[in-house]
Each structure stands twice: as structure tokens, then as C-alpha cells.
Amino acid sequence: MTGSRRTRTTPPVLPQRIRTRVTTRVRTRVLFAGAVAACASIVVGCGVVPGVGGSGDDPITVMTWAPQDTAATNKPGMPAMAQAYARWVNAHGGINGHQLKVLTCNDHNDTVYAAKCARRAASENVVAVVGSYSQHGRSFLAPLEGAGIPYIGGYGVTDDEFTSPLSYPINGGEAALLAGLGEQLGKKCGPVALIRPDTVAGDQLPVLLDSGLKTEGHASATDQRAADDATEYSGQTKIALGRATSAPANQGCVVTALGDRTATFMDSFRRIRENYPQVGTGTVLSSIDQSLIDSSGGASSPYEGAYVTGWYPVATDARWAPMRKAIKEQAFGDNRIDPADAGVQTTWIAYNVFKAVVESLGDGKVTALTVRRALDNGLKVSTGGLTPTLSWRYEDLIAAVDFPRLINAHVTFQVVRKGQLTSARGGFVNMAKTLENADSN
């Protein structure tokens, strides 16, 4: 695979079973999107249109949400980055003369709170929800769809973000990460053991990892479920090490995909691994970052030598310089914002996408409807090389049955060397074909 992006002029030819499912799902979503657009254009009988009045010099209101202060995965840097971005862009004249107003919400890793955040977005007449994280897509997307509010640049942790017609993903989510990690490990590892959350979102991860492993002719990984709020993982560690060392002639690998609890797992792993033959490790950038490696010992950390798959270039890449400059100007002392964190990076890119959308509208009104129309009508957004050029036209959708809104399946292969996340392979690797075939594996 290469980092070049495929350009399609016609939809790909798929087997009849898959083609029927794709066609049905896309037709349903297109019809729904049309109904939302019609509703948004007829205020009477459909309620208030979100964002109406965003013209002239009026401020533009958006929202960013993420879980904070919970026992599971937390992403406080995402709303903090959103607020810093607003201060930064406003200090430089706003967007097309508009000041940007960012509302934030804590979804508490809870379905009820996730829905509350979405309903608040509707009641506050935001024009978009931008650069957010939530594991509860079904809870927050239904209120957003009912209000016609686009969801731009979600973290990609749920399948729902890749099916809703009002979702505009900027990365390949956990799907691309796990498939990419499988391809990395398929060339290097013997038996592979996966430790993943015992959640609905976690149930899809083994299939995705296996899709990447199978591209290299590797056997499926063993699937080990674990609570995503546990305080230790000694039992799961022993099981995983036992499976990864079951073929002495081939060094196996233990893969962790536990989000914030990956560090907790690795504490158990560090203590117990000495009693077993040597194994490799692998994880995805949504579960590890440079600050975690530093805090766990740098070059002597249990992550040393780990294979990592990310969505974006490594944090030391020069392409992140504009983000670092904005953070230095507007959030230098905010320790919630780590420029090496994948959530912070996702929020930065998502807000730059939103900025490009608003700029494309010129002197026109900035509303939820006009934002969606700009995105649906083929707007192409450059992210300064942090991703391929993004566009959400039908022609740009990847023919992955379970992810019909997926447009960017590119990942980066990384490895921890001397305590630093470094590039293991230059450029992006396109996982589109692997994800397209995942359904039939």
C-alpha cells in the first residue's frame, strides 16, 4: 500500500451481497439527509433551525464535548484545545469577520449525559459540534440529526460516526487503527493476543485487527475482554502472555487497546512479563502518546519497542508547528492540552476543517444547514499534510460496508525507539482495501 489517495469516478464493483447492503444503507441515509435538509428549510412544523442568524458580524457558536473526571477514558484536552483555538482565531480577526464562540460539555462516559450534551447543542442553536469524543454515538447522534446539526471531526471511537449522514469524520477511527496495527504485526509477530474493552465499541476491535493480520497471511488474534475502568489487570495479563508465548519458535505479541486504561494494564504487564518468554507489544495512538511513554520511564518504559499505529504524523513532525504556535499563544500554561495527544490533534484538525467551511461561505449566512451543504457539495479541505485532502462527496466514500461515511482510511506506522514515538514507515498507509474486505473475512 502507498500513501497516495485513490480517485474514483465510479463506485467500486463489489460482490452482490455487499453491493446490496451498501446501496440500501447509503440510499436510506441519503433520503434521511434530504428530509433533514427539507425540515431545516421549512421552520414551521419542524422547530427552530440551528444556527439561523449567523450572518454579518454575528458570532458563530459551536460545541465540543468529551468525558472528563471519570473512571474510564478521559479527554479533557479536547474541549480545552477547542477553547484555545477560539481564542487564537479570534485574536487574529475571527473567521470571515465572525468571532468564534465555543461551548463545551462533559459527557461523563455516560449515555444520558451524551444525549444531554447533544440536546444542549440544539437548544443553544450551535451550527456544528466540532472535534469531540464520546463512546455513545447512538445517544448523541439522534438529537443532532433531529436538529440538523453536523458532527465534524469526531474522534472516531464509535461505528455510528461512520454511518450518520450528519457525521463528517476526518480520520479512519478505531477501524483504521486496528486494521493498520494488524498489518504491522502480521509481518513481525507469532501468536497475537488482543486486550480490549468489554464494551459495545470494543466488540468490533477483534474483527478489525484480524482484517489487518490476514492481509499478511497471519492467524487471527485471541480476544481477551477486560473492564475499561479496572484498577489492575494481572489476570488478563497472565492469560494474554500465555497465549502470546504458546509458539516458542515465533515470538508473539500482546496488543492493548484500552484507551486510558492501557497504562494500568502495562503496570501489570511490566510486573508479570519477567516470568514468561520475551514478547512484543503493540497498541494504537488512541491508547498511548508521548507523555505516557515519558511518565512511564522513557527508554526504560514497558512501551519500548512497541509497534504503534496512528492517524497522523508523529508529534515531532514540522507539520504540527501551527498548532504548537497557537497553543503557545493562547494556552501555554494549560496542562490539559498535550500537543502529542491524539484527541488534541483531532480537535485541532477538526476546527481547521470548520474554519475552511465558514471561509467557503463568503458573505453568506453561517448556519447548520449552510455548513452541511458546503460539506455535502464537494468542498475539499487541505489540512497542511496532517491528513490527505478531505472531501465528503459520494465519490470519496470508501466502500466499507460497516463504515459508509468513511473517507480517510490512511494511517501512519510508528514504533517506540529510545523512549520516543518515531516513524516506522514514511508517509501514510492506506487501509481502505483492508477495511473493504473486513466484512467478508
pLDDT at 4: 34
Amino acid 200: pLDDT: 81
Is residue 351 predicted with pLDDT exceeding 70? yes
What is the band of 244 on the pLDDT scale with cuts at 50, 70, 90? Answer: very high
Question: How many Cα neighbours within 13 Å face the side chain of 170?
Answer: 30
What's residue 365's pLDDT? 96
**Which residue would you say has higher pLDDT here, 327 or 402?**
327
Q: What pLDDT shows up at residue 50?
A: 47
Q: Choose between 287 and 82: higher pLDDT.
A: 82
Residue 51 confidence (pLDDT): 46
pLDDT at 272 > cutoff 80 = yes
Quick one: what percent of the chain has pLDDT higher than 70? 87
Give the side-chain half-sphere CA count within 13 A for 140: 35
Cα gap 412→117, rounded to integer Å: 32
Residue 415: the pLDDT is: 95
Instruction: Tell me the average pLDDT across 176-191.
Output: 94
pLDDT of 56? 54
Euclidean distance between the first and final Cα of the chain, in Å? Answer: 19
Greater confidence (402 vs 77) lies with 77
Q: Which of 240, 303, 213, 299 is nearest to 267 (CA)?
A: 303
pLDDT (average), residues 315-330: 96
Mean residue pLDDT across the chain = 87
Kindly report which listed range (3-7, 183-187, 259-263) carries the lowest average pLDDT score: 3-7
pLDDT at 32: 46
The identity of residue 392, as a single letter, is: W
* pLDDT of 8: 36
Region 81-90: what's the mean pLDDT?
Answer: 98
C-alpha grid cell, residue 80: 480545552
pTM: 0.83
Contact yes or no for 403/368 (Cβ under 8 A) = no
Q: What is the pLDDT of residue 236?
A: 93
More confident residue, 43 or 363: 363
